[in-house]
Amino acid sequence: MNSFTEYFRGIFSGIRSLLAGLSVTGKYFVKPGTTVTQQYPNNRKDLKMFDMFKGEVIMPHNEKNEHKCTGCGICEINCPNGSIEVISASIVSEEGKKQRIIDRHIYHLGMCTFCGLCVKTCPSQALAFGQEFEHAVFDRTKLTKVLNQPGSKIMKGVE
Amino acid sequence: MEEAVKAPVPEQEEYVINMGPQHPSTHGVLRLVVSLRGETVRNVEPHIGYIHRGIEKMCESITYPQIIHLTDRMDYLSAHINNEAVCLAVENALGIEVSDRVKVVRTILSELTRIQSHQLFWATFGMDLGGLTCFFYGLRDREMILDIFEETCGGRMIVSYNCPGGLMNDIHPNFQKRTKEFISYFRKTLPEYDRLLTGNVIFQERLKNIGVVNREQAIAWGLTGPVGRASGFSCDVRKHNPYSAYDRVTFKEILYDEGDSFHRYKVRMDEMWESMNIIEQLIDNIPAGSYAEKMKPVIKLPEGEYYQSVETARGELGVYIVSDGNKNPYRVKFRSPNFVHLAPLNLMSQGSKIADLVAINGSLDLIIPDIDR
Amino acid sequence: MEFSIYDFSSFTAWIDSSLRASMSPGWAVAIEMILIGIAILTFYAIVGLFLVYAERKVCALMQNRLGPNRVGPGGMFQTVADLVKLLFVELVPIKNADRALFNLAPFVVIIASFMAIGAIPFAKGLHAVDLNIGVFYLMAISSMGVIGVLLAGWASNNKYSLIGAMRSGAQIVSYELSVGLALVTMVVLAGTMQLSEIIEGQRWGWFIFKGHIPAVIAFVIYIISGTAETNRGPFDLAEAESELTAGYHTEYSGIKFAFFFLAEYINMFIVAAIAATIFFGGWMPLHVFGWDGFNAVMDFIPPIVWFLTKTFFIVFLMMWLKWTFPRLRIDQLLTLEWKYLLPINIFNLLLMAFLVLTGLHW
Amino acid sequence: MEKTQLAALAATLAPDAQVVQGKQFVEITLLPTELYTVAEKLKNHSDTALDMLVSITGMDYGSELGTVYHLRSTVHNHMIVLKTRVSDRENPEIDSLCGLWPAAEFHEREAFDLLGIRFRNHPDLRRLFLDSTWGYPLRKDYKDDINILAK
Is the ipTM higher than 0.95? The answer is no
Mind listing the pLDDT tens digit for each residue in C246-289?
A: 778 888 888 888 888 888 888 888 888 888 888 888 777 777 77
Give the residue from B227, B258, B225, B257 showing the smallest Cα distance to B239: B225
Q: What's the confidence (pLDDT) of residue B7?
A: 43
User: Is B126 within 8 Å of C244 when comparing Cβ atoms?
Assistant: no
Give the residue from B342, B339, B349, B331 showing the smallest Cα distance to B370: B339
Torsion sign across C-alpha atoms A21, A26, A29, A32? negative
Residue D131 lies in a domain: no
**B5-14, B100-109, B163-172: lowest mean pLDDT where?**
B5-14
Residue D25 is part of which domain span?
Answer: 3-94
CA distance B254 to B251: 9
pLDDT band at residue A99, thresholds of 50, 70 and 90? confident
| Cβ atoms C118, C33 nearer than 8 A | no
B152–A contact, CB cutoff 8 A: yes
Question: Most B CBs within 10 Å: which of A115, A118, A133, as the mutation test of the B interface?
Answer: A115
Residue B37, φ and ψ in degrees, nearest 5: -130, 105
Q: Is the pLDDT of residue C359 over 80?
A: no
Neighboring chain A residues of B201 at a CB cutoff of 8 Å: 13-14, 17-18
**Which residues contact residue C278 at a Cβ distance below 8 angstroms, ignoring those fewer than 6 apart?**
C135, C183, C186, C190, C198, C207
User: Is A115 within 8 Å of B143 when comparing Cβ atoms?
Assistant: no
Q: Is the pLDDT of residue B333 over 50?
A: yes
A28–C contact, CB cutoff 8 A: yes
CA distance C191 to C184: 10
Residue A61, φ and ψ in degrees, nearest 5: -115, 145
Q: Where are the domains of chain C?
A: 7-80, 89-358
According to DSSP, the residues that pair with B47 across neighbouring strands are B31
Reduce the secondary structure of C118-169 to three states and give it as a string: HCCCCECCECCCCCCCHHHHHHHHHCCHHHHHHHHHHHCCCHHHHHHHHHHH
Give the residue from B253, B138, B260 showing the smallest Cα distance to B204: B260
Neighboring chain C residues of A21 at a CB cutoff of 8 Å: 324-325
Q: Is the pLDDT of residue A152 over 80?
A: no
Q: Is the pLDDT of residue D151 over 70?
A: no
User: Is B130 within 8 Å of C240 when comparing Cβ atoms?
Assistant: yes
- Tell me how crowded residue C22 is: count the other CB atoms within 10 A of its CB: 9
Q: Is the pLDDT of residue A87 over 80?
A: yes
Give the residue from C211, C229, C5 showing the smallest Cα distance to C122: C5
**Which residues contact residue C286 at a Cβ distance below 8 angstroms, ignoring those fewer than 6 apart?**
C206, C298
**Closest Cα of chain D to A61: distance in Å?**
29
Measured between CA atoms, the residue of chain D closest to residue B237 is D77
pLDDT band at residue B6, thresholds of 50, 70 and 90? very low
Number of folded domains that form chain D: 1
Q: Is the pLDDT of residue B5 over 70?
A: no
Collapsed DSSP state (helix, strand, coil) of residue C10: helix
Neighboring chain D residues of A73 at a CB cutoff of 8 Å: none
Q: What's the confidence (pLDDT) of residue B21?
A: 83
Give the residue from B301, B297, B62 showing the smallest Cα distance to A121: B297
Greater model confidence, A155 or A124:
A124
User: Is B25 within 8 Å of C63 when comparing Cβ atoms?
Assistant: no
Neighboring chain D residues of B95 at a CB cutoff of 8 Å: none
Measured between CA atoms, the residue of chain D closest to residue A76 is D151
Q: What is the DSSP string of C191-247?
A: S---HHHHHHTTTTS-HHHHTHHHHHHHHHHHHHHHHHHTT-TTSGGGT-HHHHTTG
For chain B, strand residue ranges (E) read 15-19, 31-37, 40-47, 162-163, 166-167, 304-311, 316-323, 331-335
A17–D contact, CB cutoff 8 A: no
Measured between CA atoms, the residue of chain A closest to residue B299 is A78
Supply angle C-alpha B338, B309, A115, rounded to 5: 80
Q: Label residue B24 left, alpha or beta by phi (over 0 means left) and psi (-120 to 50 means alpha).
A: alpha
CA distance C209 to B83: 65
Q: How far is CA B338 from CA A59, B144, B342, B368, B370, in A?
A: 40, 26, 6, 8, 6
A82–D contact, CB cutoff 8 A: yes
User: Is A53 within 8 Å of B150 when comparing Cβ atoms?
Assistant: yes
- When pLDDT is averaged across residues C152-163 and rounded to a whole number, the result is 85
C65–B contact, CB cutoff 8 A: yes
Residue D80 lies in a domain: yes
**A130-134, B284-288, C93-97, D98-102: lowest mean pLDDT where?**
C93-97
With touching defined as 3 or more inter-chain CB pairs under 8 Å, the answer for chains C and D is no
| Cβ atoms C241, B24 nearer than 8 A | yes
Mind listing the pLDDT tens digit for each residue in B21-80?
A: 888 777 778 888 888 887 888 888 888 888 888 888 888 888 888 888 888 888 888 888
| Cβ atoms C278, C194 nearer than 8 A | no
Percentage with pLDDT > 90 across chain B: 2
A81–D contact, CB cutoff 8 A: yes
- Give chain A's length: 159
Mind listing the pLDDT tens digit for each residue in C297-342?
A: 777 778 888 888 888 888 988 888 888 888 888 888 888 888 888 8
Neighboring chain B residues of A18 at a CB cutoff of 8 Å: 200-202
From the list C64, C160, C236, the residue facing B130 with the nearest CB is: C236
User: Is A39 within 8 Å of C62 when comparing Cβ atoms?
Assistant: no
B154–A contact, CB cutoff 8 A: yes
Neighboring chain C residues of A18 at a CB cutoff of 8 Å: 324-325
Torsion sign across C-alpha atoms B154, B160, B163, B167? positive
A24–B contact, CB cutoff 8 A: yes
Q: What's the confidence (pLDDT) of residue B28?
A: 78
**Closest Cα of chain A to C59: distance in Å?**
8
DSSP H or E run through C310: helix C303-322
Mind listing the pLDDT tens digit for each residue in B206-249?
A: 888 888 888 888 888 888 888 888 888 888 888 888 888 888 88
- pTM of this prediction? 0.87
Supply angle C-alpha B255, B259, B263, rounded to 5: 65
Rounded to the nearest angstrom, the gap between the alpha carbon of residue C30 and the centroid of all alpha carbons in its chain is 26
Supply angle C-alpha B250, B256, B261, rounded to 5: 125
Mind listing the pLDDT tens digit for each residue in C30-41?
A: 888 888 888 888
Q: Is the pLDDT of residue B1 over 60?
A: no
**Closest Cα of chain A to D114: distance in Å?**
23
Q: Which CATH number fits domain B52-372: 3.20.20.70, 1.10.645.10, 3.40.50.720, 3.40.50.261?
A: 1.10.645.10
| Cβ atoms C285, C297 nearer than 8 A | no
- The residues on C that touch A, with CB distances below 8 Å, are 58, 61-66, 69, 320-321, 323-325, 340
**Which residues contact residue A106 at a Cβ distance below 8 angstroms, ignoring those fewer than 6 apart?**
A84, A85, A86, A87, A144, A145, A146, A147
Query: Across the A/C interface, how many CB contacts are shorter than 8 Å?
Result: 35
Buried-exposed string C138-159: b where 16+ CB fall within 10 A, e elsewhere:
bbebbbbbbbbbbbbbbbbebb
| Cβ atoms B343, B44 nearer than 8 A | no
